[in-house]
Amino acid sequence: MKEQNDKTITAHCGDTPTSHSCVPRSALVTGASRGIGRAIAQALAEEGYRLYLTCRRSEKELTELSYQLSETYHIACTPILADMGDMQAVNEVFAKIDDLTLLVNNAGVSHIGLLHEMTVQEWQSLMNVNLNALFYTCRLAIPMMLKHHAGHIVNISSVWGNAGASMEVAYSASKGGMNAFTKALAKELAPSGIQVNAIACGVIDTDMNRCFSEEEMSALRAEIPADRIGQPSEVAGLLLSIINAPSYLTGQVITLDGAWQT
C-alpha cells in the first residue's frame, strides 16, 4: 500500500492552465483525508488543479479519495502518507512535487485539558503539526512560486487563534502563531506576487468536534448567531474565493464562524 501512496493517480490529462497564465495549477493540501481538507481537495479538483494530498494515518481513505477525484475530474492526484510535523517527512513530500502554485496548510490537531496537566511531549507534538509544519512547507514551496512570480498560501486557522479558549491554551497559541505567521509572510512575499492568507474557522462539522456530546454541541450551537454548525464545503468555498480574489488581498485572517466570535 505504501508504494501506491508514492504514485500519481490519474485518469487522463492532469493539468489545467489558469485563464490568465500558462502556468499549470498545482496544489498541496495537507490533512486531506477527511473534513475540511477533503472538502478543499474536492473543490480544487473541480477547478482542474493537479493535487498532492497528505495525511498522517488514514492511508486507505486518502488513496480512495485520490482515485475518486482523478476518475471524476480527470486530474492528476498524488496521495502521500506523511506527518507534516516532521521536517524529514515534509522534505520527502516535496521531493515528489516538481511545481506548486497553491499551498494549503490544513493539517492540525487539538488538545483539550488544563495547561498544567499537559505534558511537554503533548505540547511539542501539537506545535510540530499546527505551527512548525508551516515553516517546513513554506520554505520549500516559496522557491517554486518565486519562479512564476505568483502563488497562493492559505493557512487554515481557528477563531481561538484570535480570541483564545480556556482548556485549549496550546491549540489557541498554535493558531495565534499561525495568524502572525500569515501576516508577516504576506508582507515578505507581496513584492514577489505571492499572496498569503488564512481562514479562521469557527465550529465546523468535522471529526475534531466528535469529542463533544450531543448536549454539548447543542449548547454550543445555541451560542452561534447563525444557529448552526459550519460545513467543510463552506471553508472550501471561501478558499476558492480567496485564491480567485484580486492580488491586493493578502495578509488577511478571514473569520468564518456564523458571527460566533465576531
- 108-128 pLDDT, tens per residue? 999 999 999 999 999 999 999
> Which residues are CB-neighbours of 182 under 8 A, at least 6 positions away?
153, 155, 157, 196, 197, 198, 251, 253
Summarize the confidence of residues 14-26 as an average pLDDT: 57
Helix/strand/coil for 199: strand
Helix/strand/coil for 255: strand
Concerning whether 67 is annotated as a catalytic residue, the answer is no
The amino acid at residue 243 is I
Q: Note the pLDDT of residue 13.
A: 39
pTM: 0.91
Inform me whether the pLDDT recorded for 210 exceeds 90.
no
Check 49, 52, 73, 171 and give the catalytic one.
Answer: 171
Question: Over the stretch 162-180, which tens digit does the pLDDT of each residue have?
Answer: 999 999 999 999 999 999 9
Among the listed ranges 16-20, 210-214, 218-222, which one has the minimum average pLDDT value? 16-20
Residue 2 CA to residue 25 CA, distance in Å, equals: 26
